Amino acid sequence: MTQERLPLQGIRVLELGTLLAGPFSGRLLADFGAEVIKIEPPDKPDPMRKWGKQVEEQGLWWPIQSRNKKSITLNLREEEGQRMFKELAAKSDIIIENFRPGTMEKWNLSYEELAAVNEKLIMVRTSGFGQTGPYKNRAGFGSVGEAMGGLRYVTGFPDRAPSRIGISIGDTLAALFATIGCLTALQERNHSGKGQVVDTALYEAVFAVMESIIPDYMLAGYIRERMGNILPGVAPSNIYFTKDKTYVVIGANADGVFKRLCQAMEKPELAEHPNYATHTARGENMKALDALIEEWTKTLPAKECLARLEDFGVPSGLIYSAKDILEDPHYQEREMIIKVEHPTLGEFPMPGVVPKLSRTPGRVSQPGPEKMGKHNEEIYGELLQTSHHELTRLKEDGII
């Protein structure tokens, strides 16, 4: 039985930039069949190759971030490297870059110059503060985007300094928005025949998910502060201690769900109590309500508590570590832990493809290329018709 054609098969992507935001966009496109060509300077590997824990001197993040991609080397600081990049751009659909604004222009690789050789080209540009505005030339990492986008201010507990989330969420959000913009531009190109620039700023990607903090302030005079594990005015939605000294998450803030929670607790009268009967009342009496719920959860082991909540249709769950994720049968059934063969480390586990498509799902065929420039001969030799003798010269001259 032959596999369905992948949705982005036939789309060629040139991925520039390092670390997280740009390469994560490349990973998402590669998962669904795009030919993603990762380009690194011959003398400066992507630092991601060494990020994460290391086993046998192999960083464990790179095989995931660069899965399904091809690897070539090219020196864009040199005129000959810039010429070769334009030749690649002429045969490609998308360029992903996450340099500080002005870098591509400095290399004579502005969108205008590249569009002159390929008007269908889409350039996905991710930076700290975007391609315009007074801050455009500032360096900006995901942590700064999280801070200036408003996320860090509301993350953590009220009696402590602002905290970060345990992953690089700013970069990931920027990559997700950049990918949405890329696919939108790709669809528009089907009608116009022309490419365009997709401009994503890290701080804007974070700010875009910050719910109602602006009208809260401008219209109600309220600044949302750090509140730990709760959301302001939304209850019950918290973590609760159990008999076996662990925590369960319970989200029962909707009226109907709250009634079911009260039934699970064998306290149906709480659903009619004036302090808890409505969404507004529960928000105003959050601390007292959470204390009542935890009084109940402390009488049960976590598994028994969750089983009862499930019986009554109350959203709930454990707080998973990596070990818990690996042991969960639902993750296994949904193919969210997949394994691919790594040339050094053998069977390599990594997250599956998200989202799930019913007819043409994405897939992972290989981990990130272990060797820099692994596909130089394939891309330069076959795509650009560069001779072996010329490839040798380019390598000796530090171009590839």
Phi then psi dihedrals of residue 367, to 5 deg: -75, 175
Q: Please, which residues have CB within 8 angstroms of residue 164's CB and are 6 or more apart in sequence?
A: 143, 146, 152, 155
Cα–Cα distance list, 3 to 332, 337, 338, 359 (Å)? 22, 21, 18, 10
Helix (H) or strand (E) run with residue 289 in it: helix 286-297
- 266 Cβ partners below 8 Å, 6+ apart? none
Rounded CA separation 322/71 (Å) = 30
> 31, 93, 171, 199: which is the annotated catalytic residue?
171
The C-alpha angle with vertex 268 and arms to 263 and 269, in degrees rounded to 5, equals 165
Bridge partners of 250, per DSSP, are 238, 316
Residue with tokens 């002005």: 102
pLDDT tens for each residue of the chain, 400 residues long: 457 899 999 999 999 999 899 999 999 999 999 999 999 999 999 999 999 899 998 899 999 999 999 999 999 999 999 999 999 999 999 999 999 999 999 999 999 999 999 999 999 999 999 999 999 999 989 999 999 999 999 999 999 999 999 999 999 999 999 999 999 999 999 999 999 999 999 999 999 999 999 999 999 999 999 999 998 899 999 999 999 999 999 999 999 999 999 999 999 999 999 999 999 999 999 999 999 999 999 999 999 999 999 999 999 999 999 999 999 999 999 999 999 999 999 999 999 999 999 999 999 999 999 999 999 999 999 999 999 999 999 999 999 9
User: Could you identify the residue written with the tokens 């029962």?
Assistant: 252
Query: Of 137, 168, 136, which Cα lies nearest the Cα of 152?
Result: 168
Residues in contact with 203: Cβ distance below 8 Å, sequence separation at least 6, in sequence order: 128, 129, 140, 144, 145, 148, 149
**Contact in structure between 90 and 119 (CB atoms under 8 Å):** no
Burial of residue 347 (CB within 10 Å: 0-12, 13-18, 19+) is exposed
Q: Is 43 a catalytic residue?
A: no
Q: What is the pTM of this model?
A: 0.94
Instruction: Count other Cβ atoms within 10 Å, centred on residue 281.
Output: 15
Residues counted in the chain: 400
Domains in the chain (CATH in brackets) are: 12-209+333-396 (3.40.50.10540), 237-241+247-318 (3.30.1540.10)
